A and B are shown apart, each in its own frame.
Chain A
């Protein structure tokens, strides 16, 4: 969207200036490395924004699109919760009880399966919406 990447890039430039100061003044490899990581990450964020939408680098306000963009947004996602708990139980299992690593891996697979179902449902309801028929469970199919 218009302008979104500009402050990100501006900030990366400020950081790069400070990084240069640090490199000249201290010459400390690990500090330059850390700065470098931060600058690179922020530049990559800006690049991703520009890649997603060219106008992100142009000044100005976002305009209303000529055709409403349809976006399927989930109300609930058990996949997301399961994945988080799976990750936590793997790490917890490493410290305390190894069987939790397997339990977590199992949960992770379940959450991926669940995610596939969720994405499929999302696609289906978006297609239904675009065809003009109401979604299965109409919640708020029309927002202003």
Chain B
């Protein structure tokens, strides 16, 4: 289903590059869970606001002697707890299956592209080992992270100093960059365009300036861009 969703949104170019197992699109996974959680939350909130307001309006300003004397109904509460447990079980089913797809299934996919992302106080370094391309944002320059759409991209996240987090709101996904480790995030961009990205974990003085842009190109454009980069030695970014 997820593969279908992401494929339908970006046409034939990516069809050629899609892996047989299908792509896990974090954005549609988020939306899938969001669309179940948020209406339930709004419904529960509305229900309690309504019940509270009604109770207050109906039982206002009566003499204290008229207050009801009942104060217990264990069976009713047990039933209510059971109902809540069912809701919790349902939410967990939705969440854990989506989490499985985002974390486990996507990690099993063979990526079309690997990008080494290195964070350091307050810069990003994107390295494309297959192409020998290095891009920098921060004091060194303001180059965009360029990715192909409709392909699995594996980001290998590392940090040189403190904890940073690689967040692309468009993908509804972030992951921490923790010094001393390389973390893998396997992501798919389903739409082309220019998106904002930033460090999400507070990392010291100029945390707010640790931003970058993601430029998602169609697979063909991406290949052309990569060849141009290799030819000019990165000058044409």
* Direct A–B touching, Cβ under 8 Å: no
